[in-house]
Amino acid sequence: MWEQMPEHVKTLCPYCGVGCGLIADTDGPRLLRVRGDPDHPANFGKLCPKGATVAQTVNTPTRLRYAMQRDDLYDDLTVCPPHTAVREAARRLDSIIQQHGPQAVAFYLSGQLTTESQYLANKFAKAYLRTNHVDSNSRLCMASAAQGMKLSLGSDGPPTCYADIELADAHLFVGSNAAHCHPVLFDRVAARVQKGKARCIVVDPRRTATAEIAEMHLAVRPGTDLILMNGLLRLFRDVGKIDKDYIADHTEGWPELNTLLDQYPPEFVARTCGIPYEQLMAAARILIESERLLTYWTMGVNQTVHGTFTSNAIINLHLATGKIGKPGCGPFSLTGQPNAMGGRDVGYMSHSLPGYRSIAEPEHRRQMEQLWGLPAGAIRDEIGYDAVRLFEAMESGEIRAVWIIGSNPAASMPNLPRVRRALESAELVIVQDAYYPTETTSYAHIVLPAALNLEQDGTFCNTERRVTLMQKAVPPPGDAMPDWWWVKQVAAAMGFTAGLRHENAAQIFDEFARTTAGRPNDQSAMHHELLRVKGPQQWPYPAMGRPSERRYTDGKFPTPSGKARLWARDLGPEADATSLEFPLLLTTGRVLNQWHTRTKTGNVDQLNKMDPAPFIQMHPDDARELDLSDGDAVFVRSRRGKCRGTVRLDANASPGVVFVPIHWNELWAPASSPNEATTDDVDPLSKQPGLKCCAVSISAVSANRTEQLPLSLIE
């Protein structure tokens, strides 16, 4: 007997943070196709190729349908009933906790889980197991933007909304290839620019598809965005285009920032960023002339060891010019994953708690203990390990068990040689995923089959803080179940039932929403039925007070003084600096038609035809120096490891910089993962690794040559 499903179900695209609405057409138990939801305010029916082919990712031969287990990694994984896998997970977790304490257990979660699953896993770990070692792949994605917004504005969460796109006079993209990474959102920008209704500047070391439509492309050297942002604000100041009233009434820190800006004359900025002086001045002129400015940023900023500083510098520009909290204005951090915003709302990182609370704040811990019905002191006061330190602690034997849900760290983490050593040395690795195999399941002792988002009810929150209800369109295959269900079963098998009695996703959401009451991300008046009836809603959506599409419209910020903070941010030393041995810079990123480690998109022929294979993008000048040609097989070597690939010559690359897409890893293209070479040096404030900026050398595979680019080419 199959469950009777409605035939046209409103749900959501599982890929990027734009959060496009989908309608899933079914014939009952079978998914026939998906199409864009014309009523969804994120996309009004439009979809990019990934979203349009979601239906082909559901019933693939690679779907994980049944639980599996083994005693150790030398054995094969064997299929087992769900209750056996649950009992075994509970027994082994309990045994490790008995011997080594709860802090020997870690969780690694994902921005691709529903808010409900993120919430319950986080609650189970921090409230009941009593480990704060809960981190997520958002650490690789948005941690610096989140930290930057918290330090500058008093709260994470972008102040802007998509409606601002049609109201802005100018769009500044910094380290964002939105044309490929946030395509439906970018189409709205492109439409405005192409009609001559707005201007566009793109700051990126590569001439990307985003740069193609821009009036100006500033091909900065990787890692110099902070210098550029300071330099631009200096030029605003020098022509009297800062907003002195806004600075005086709504900010703190201007005197220090003003002094710092003296160190950023345009000649210095142009030279250090590697862009022509005239181009810098022309870009500044465009921005100064524009009344309404949106600045978008994402991985090119966040995945550097000074991503938080650069985020602060971007926000400085908006605060000092008063271009925030107004229509068509604001700093707009673009979220990589579909529900990283939801994850941040529920506090699924090692330093946070639901409702944008912090583990480091005694009052925040007390509030959550009260909300969760825990005794005082139940939540540990020490901050848990961020993603990089979590795997380091696993390698050293301090962390002995990890439960990985909806992520593939054996492909996506930087410095993979270390991550593999860590996973190999763990006593227990539980991997919960919708697909098998993945690079990470190679290290799993227990594998739990997860439902996809089309197979469950739940919510995602997109990059404009809009929460959408995803409704179950088809039943999950085999024994697959929603992620929160597995968490609840294992918790129950370990004896934790009080506080984890939720029967469905709606009940979990209700509890989560209550934790946000009175907090900056208040969504306490939201519930599943409201979202079903009224459609997607943006937070803040408080029970007391009014919803609002834009934040900080009154110039009041959630800081002790009520004012935002202008930070004087100066550039520190490069973490993974180039040298004679490693003279090039490696940068990594997405291509339009693939997603993360291809567990989903690798199954879609249509997408694979458009983006079929990995490549190493190089500027022809660099290739000439190394006597390389288009199509040559090469090694990319760093201080940590090496990967191999095929050279793609492209004049759109910057000289001295090579680009490798992140999607092809061990399963799809052995030895090709760029993360064999990337650095796990982190931003000291956000703990986000500097994936975008790694010193490497390139050498031909066939002749095993070691010639390298002279340093002079990149200086």
Residues that bind ligand SF4 (CB under 6 A): 13, 15-16, 18-20, 43, 47-48, 50-51, 182-184
**Residue 47 vs 149, nearer CB to ligand SF4:** 47
Secondary structure of residue 267 in the 3-state scheme: helix
Pairing state of beta strands 584-589 and 657-661?
A: parallel
Enter the DSSP assignment of 689. Answer: B
What is residue 402's three-state secondary structure? strand
DSSP SS3 for 675: helix
Matching residue, tokens 């199509």: 631
Nearer to ligand SF4, 17 or 159 (CB): 17
Q: Give backbone dihedrals phi and psi of 156, rounded to 5 degrees, phi first.
A: -65, 170
Nearer to ligand SF4, 50 or 640 (CB): 50
Phi, psi of 527 (to 5 degrees): -155, 165
Cβ-based nearer residue to ligand SF4, 579 or 606: 606
Q: Provide the minimum distance between the beta carbon of 162 and ligand SF4 in the complex, in angstroms, as a whole number.
A: 12
Residue 581, token pair as written in the block: 């041995």
Q: Write down the least CB distance from residue 18 to ligand SF4, Å.
A: 4
Output 45 or 547, the one with its CB closest to ligand SF4: 45
| 3-class DSSP state of 429 | strand
Q: Where are the alpha helices (DSSP H) in 131-208?
A: 143-153, 178-181, 183-194
C-beta closer to ligand SF4: residue 132 or 471: 471
Q: How far is the CB of 337 from ligand SF4 (least distance, A)?
A: 10
In whole angstroms, give the CA distance from residue 403 to residue 102: 13
Residue found by looking up tokens 């900010």 in the block:
251
DSSP H or E stretch at residue 423: helix 416-425
Tell me if 566 sits within 8 A of 257, measured CB to CB.
yes
**Type of residue found at 213:** I
Burial readout 2-40 (b: 16 or more C-beta within 10 A, e: otherwise): eeebeeebbbbbbbbbbbbbbbbbbeeeebeebbbbeeb
The residue (of 35 and 380) whose beta carbon lies closer to ligand SF4 is 35
Q: Look at residue 653 and give its three-state secondary structure.
A: coil
Neighbours of 641 (CB within 10 A): 17
Q: Give the nearest distance from C-beta 185 to ligand SF4 in angstroms.
A: 7
State the CB neighbour count (10 A cutoff) for residue 187: 17
- Closest separation in Å from C-beta 48 to ligand SF4: 3
For the record, the structure tokens of 478 come out as 């085999």
Starting at the earlier edge strand, list the strands of the sheet with 216-218.
216-218, 199-203, 170-174, 293-297, 330-333
Nearest Cα residue to 368 out of 540, 500, 517: 517
Which residues, in sequence order, are bridge partners of residue 8?
25
Q: Which is nearer to ligand SF4, 112 or 308 (CB)?
A: 112
| b/e 547-567 (16+ beta carbons within 10 angstroms → b) | ebbbbbeebebbbeeebbbbb
- Is residue 586 helix, strand or coil? strand
**Nearest distance, CB of residue 182 and ligand SF4, angstroms:** 6
Shorter beta-carbon distance to ligand SF4: residue 11 or 679 = 11
CB of 8 to ligand SF4, least distance (A): 18
Query: Considering only CA atoms, which of 120, 142, 134, 24 is closest in space to residue 463?
Result: 142
C-beta of 463: minimal distance to ligand SF4 in Å? 10
Would you say 13 or 77 has its CB closer to ligand SF4?
A: 13
Query: DSSP secondary structure string, 288-322?
Result: HH-SSEEEEE-HHHHTSTTHHHHHHHHHHHHHHTT
For ligand SF4, the closer of residues 186 and 582 by Cβ is: 186
CB of 244 to ligand SF4, least distance (A): 40
Q: Which is nearer to ligand SF4, 43 or 136 (CB)?
A: 43
Which residue carries 């985020």 as its tokens?
311
Cβ of residue 417: shortest distance to ligand SF4, in angstroms? 31
Residues shown for the chain = 715
CB of 181 vs ligand SF4, minimal distance in Å: 8
**Residue number closest to ligand SF4, CB atom:** 51
Which residues are CB-neighbours of 211 under 8 A, at least 6 positions away?
A: 202, 204, 217, 652
Question: Closest CB to ligand SF4 among 36 and 655?
Answer: 36
For the bound state, the minimum distance from the C-beta of residue 341 to ligand SF4, rounded and expressed in Å, comes to: 13
- Nearest residue (CB) to ligand SF4, 290 versus 407: 407
CA atoms of 354 and 342, how far apart (whole Å): 10
CB of 12 to ligand SF4, least distance (A): 8
Whole-number minimum distance, CB 186 to ligand SF4, in Å? 8
Q: Which of 443, 448, 453 is nearest to 490 (CA)?
A: 448
Kindly state the tokens that stand for 331: 């700093």
Token representation of residue 515: 């934790």
Least Å distance, CB 15 to ligand SF4, is: 3
Q: Alpha carbon of 588 to those of 299, 515, 551: distances in Å?
A: 9, 37, 32
Nearer to ligand SF4, 10 or 150 (CB): 10
DSSP string over 333-361:
EPPSSTTHHHHHHHT-STTEETTTEETT-
The nearest distance, CB 595 to ligand SF4, in angstroms, is: 7
Q: Which residue in 527, 442, 443, 432 sits closest to 481, CA to CA?
A: 432
Of 15 and 246, nearer to ligand SF4 (C-beta) is 15
In whole angstroms, how far apart are CA 396 and each of 122, 418, 422, 682? 24, 11, 8, 19
Please identify, using beta-carbon distances, which residue of 47 and 430 lies nearer to ligand SF4.
47
Please tell me what DSSP assigns to residue 76: P
To the nearest whole angstrom, how small is the minimum distance from the Cβ of residue 537 to ligand SF4? 18
Q: How far is the CB of 548 from ligand SF4 (least distance, A)?
A: 23
123/180 with CB nearer ligand SF4: 180
